[in-house]
A and B are shown apart, each in its own frame.
Chain A
Amino acid sequence: MKQEIIMAGFGGQGIMAMGRLLAYTGMMEGKEVSWMPSYGPEMRGGTANCTVIVSDKRIASPITTTPDVCIVMNLPSLEKFAPMVKPGGLLIINSSLIEKECERTDIEILKVPCNDIANELGSSKVLNMVALGAYIQKTKILPFESVIKAMKKAFAGKEKFIPLNEAALKKGAELVK
């Protein structure tokens, strides 16, 4: 098992945190993981992005030009990363902010209205957890319960945020079921 994931969006959409939580979950499950953020000039043009790799084996390069999965949270990210997805791979689109259709027919496309769901839950801040919940449910790469467990560990000392994040993860997953 090996999966390369690129997550991208505006600064402030919690892209890095979403990637870290995935890597953290993988580590807790005993997998090899790497998390590589974009930094410097890559951050310009409206896309903050990170690459997460989860694998059973030693991870070679922590960056990829042909990810298995892309999660794009805004239009510039769709334009930049959708062409990179491996044929047969998965593209998750935040349909709340991206109206444009992806032209590719050789990949699976999953639309998740992340902002709308997050707002319904009471905070636009958890849109990243909606996306992550949908991704985990869709790919089954790691047990859903482990993500919840990892999230609770990540929020140690800030327990008041746990219920909302948990609800967002579950809502994202429900969309896929």
Chain B
Amino acid sequence: MGERILMKGNEAIGEAAIKAGCRYFFGYPITPQNELPEYMSRRLPEVGGVFLQAESEVAAINMVYGAAGAGARVMTSSSSPGISLKMEGISYIAGADLPCVIVNIVRGGPGLGGIQPAQSDYFQATKGGGHGDYHMVVLAPSSIQEAVDLVMEAFDIADQYRVPVMVIGDGMIGQMMEPVEFKEPPKRDLPAKDWITDGCKGRKPNVINSLSLQPEKLEEMNWNRYKRYEKIKENEVKVETINMEDAEIALVAYGTTSRICFSAMETLREEGYKVGLIRPITLWPFPTETISKAADNVKAFLTVEMSTGQMVEDVRLAVNGKVPVHFYGRTGGMVPSPDEIIEQVKALGGGK
């Protein structure tokens, strides 16, 4: 670890997972994430791991369920339509309190959609996707370095709270090359995996299951899990704020879109506009408090997404009516240009 190397996003995510101790990968091909399983198929056998191309996304996520239940660090990856197929399994994994990492390199939808960058899976990732009272931790990197750092940390977060963690990117994060350095993630005190099913000679059997037919019991399990979610909300929010000290307009954007907003913000600042940027790094838990506090100081928010407007709802909840929250979106694989965003900010008075 420690040397800067030039790597493609999808491959860097794969290497980060291996460095984090991931030894099992189950997946099924779909653009624009194919380099990731391809990379794992070459690298995992070299480190004594297992790569398996399943017959479908449904099979792959159920293999993840099995490996996670046996205590392994395990990952799967896909892109939007394939992630939809995995949702049943993800709900079961959440219901069985199993840790795993799921990578979603989002493409335009709905249906088969297209393969260009999009952010239209925000609702699915943060508000369910599968059925039942559950959450995934959702991490949204905006660079290859951050993708690497977050994937490595994702395995720790998953193990610490026994939850599935999704790392969400898009074709730009997946296909782009940037310099990366593999660093140790922040040290965490991880609980022992004494719940796994790895053969019970000499101990009481463990049972891993999401079925609970007694409503009293199921309610208790759900509230217990909810308490863990509350802990995650307390401890795991990640957000970057730039130029917010004197900002009158706050841009809110994540992932690829946040980079384009950064570009727009730089230009606007040069022209004297007081614009700042709030970049959620965790989409769940959402940086509600950061946005709520910013709402006391700015005149307006502009949420920019590659969707018809999904995260903007969480921004509005956080702002709670204090100031207007505007939205600008492109969808279907169209990527907004800095100029489009500059125009939107100026139309709002631009904080000048």
Contact = CB atoms under 8 A, between A and B. Distances in A.
Given A40-B31, A40-B114, A63 B172 contact: yes
B32 A27 contact: no
A37 interface: yes
Interface in A9-53: 20, 23-24, 27, 32-37, 39-41
Nearest to B339: A65
B259 A62 contact: yes
B4 interface: yes
Given A20-B177, A60-B338, A27 B4 contact: yes
A61 B338 contact: yes
Contacts of A27: 4, 6, 179
Given A33-B178, A40-B116, A23 B6 contact: yes
Contact of B259 (A41, A61, A65): A61
A39 B171 contact: yes
A86 B176 CA distance: 23
Contacts of A39: 31-32, 115, 171, 175
A62 B4 CA distance: 19
A60 B143 CA distance: 10
Contacts, number: 61
Interface size class for chain B? 20 to 34
Contacts of A41: 114-116
Nearest to B338: A61
Contacts of A60: 259-260, 262-263, 266, 338
Interface string B249-262: 00000000001101
A23 B179 CA distance: 9
B342 interface: no
A40 B174 CA distance: 13
A36 B6 contact: no
A33 B263 CA distance: 15
A40 B337 CA distance: 20
B338 A34 contact: no
A61 B260 contact: yes
Contacts of A40: 31-32, 114-116, 171
Nearest to B267: A60
Contact of B178 (A34, A63, A65): A34
B54 interface: no
Interface of A: 20, 23-24, 27, 32-37, 39-41, 58-63, 65
Interface of B: 4, 6, 31-32, 114-116, 171-172, 175-179, 259-260, 262-263, 266, 335, 337-339
Given A35-B176, A35-B178, A40-B116, 4 more contacts: A34-B176, A36-B176, A59-B259, A65-B337
26 contacts: A20-B6, A20-B177, A23-B6, A24-B6, A33-B6, A34-B177, A35-B6, A35-B176, A36-B177, A37-B175, A37-B176, A39-B31, A39-B175, A40-B32, A40-B115, A59-B178, A59-B259, A60-B263, A61-B259, A61-B262, A61-B263, A61-B338, A62-B176, A62-B178, A63-B172, A65-B337
